[in-house]
Amino acid sequence: MRLVILPSMESSLRLSVLDQSPIAQHSSGPEALRNTIDLARLTDRLGYHRYWVAEHHGGPMLAGPSPEALIGPIAAATERIRVGSGGVMLPHYSPLKVAETFSVLAGLFPGRIDLGLGRAAGTDPMTTFALQRDRRQASPDDFPQQLAELLGYLRDQMPPDHPFARLAKTLPGLPEQPEPWLLGSSQQSALWAAELGLPYAFADFINPKGAEIAALYRERFAEHEHAGRHPRTAVAVWVICAETDEEAQLIAASGRMTFTLLRRGRLIAVPPPEQALAFLAREETSGASGPERRAVVGSPEKVGERLREVVELYGAEEAIAVCITYDHGARRRSYELLAEVFGL
């Protein structure tokens, strides 16, 4: 089959990866983590721009509760690709500890470390509570204050009279720094990113109605004084590419089943496509299937066309492809075909 390369996107669009380290049924967490390293090596060779690893806790489907622990091994196993978190769920952590950890990584891998930050828990309420150090009461919802403190360390912009001001100069990786990004799927995250002068990555695979939010981010960014900074938008999209539309739809069934059950509070490892297809057929027959998330699924030509449409809709400079499959080989092939069709 002949691939149709999209030359107009070739020089401008950056393609990146968000890896959630999926655990296939009958497999294991260690194998999923090894697959993450393997996929990072592959996408580095293929010319992808950045490789982000996610943070999820307390479930059998995803093996990535600790992006800060994965970033170092991934960066060591690759040569040029940027590596980072997509993202660190800041409410679980001390801002200083996050700043120190990513400063270490930036010092070891200069110019290659991203710090994507999110507000969500990445898990259920009970696991969120288990992650707390102090369990006398629920943690406060003080994300804006946490974010401001973290950026104060990274940018050395703590108020002089702040009791922690001196700590910004003690970060071990200085003068190297990670690049902070704000992740989100809602209007509030866009407003924070604009106010703080941060690049913004929108999770279209969670909320496919984010084009207006991305536009709001750029509009509000221009209203603030951010010397030397410009708005930058990336859109994270569910993408599965295969040789044919039929094969891609078969592969995608595994993820569709896991997310259908996730919405009902049932967490499972990623099932084989045939099992998933049978489940989805029963759902459709019973009328129990819920709303579909946006998925760019199909042959290289179809995926290239549809992904380009999503990127243009968001006015984004970068597409971050999210891909969960039962078979690791199918995931590798999806990223290979995507790189070919965009001429990486």
Q: What pairing do the DSSP bridges indicate for beta strands 318-322 and 179-184?
A: unpaired
147 burial class (0-12, 13-18, 19+ CB within 10 angstroms)? buried
Tell me what the pLDDT averaged over the chain comes to.
Answer: 93
| 157-209 per-position pLDDT tens digit | 999 999 999 999 999 999 999 999 999 999 999 999 999 999 999 999 999 99
Average pLDDT estimate for 5-29: 82
The CATH H-level superfamily of 12-341 is Luciferase-like domain (3.20.20.30)
Per-residue pLDDT at 127: 87
Per-residue pLDDT at 291: 62
Among 119, 118, 84, which Cα is nearest to 102's?
Answer: 84
pTM over 0.85: yes
Domain extent listing, the chain: 12-341
Indicate the pLDDT class of residue 135, thresholds 50, 70 and 90.
Answer: confident
Here the tokens at position 93 are 């952590």
Average pLDDT estimate for 78-84: 98
Q: Which residue is it, tokens 């896991």?
A: 258
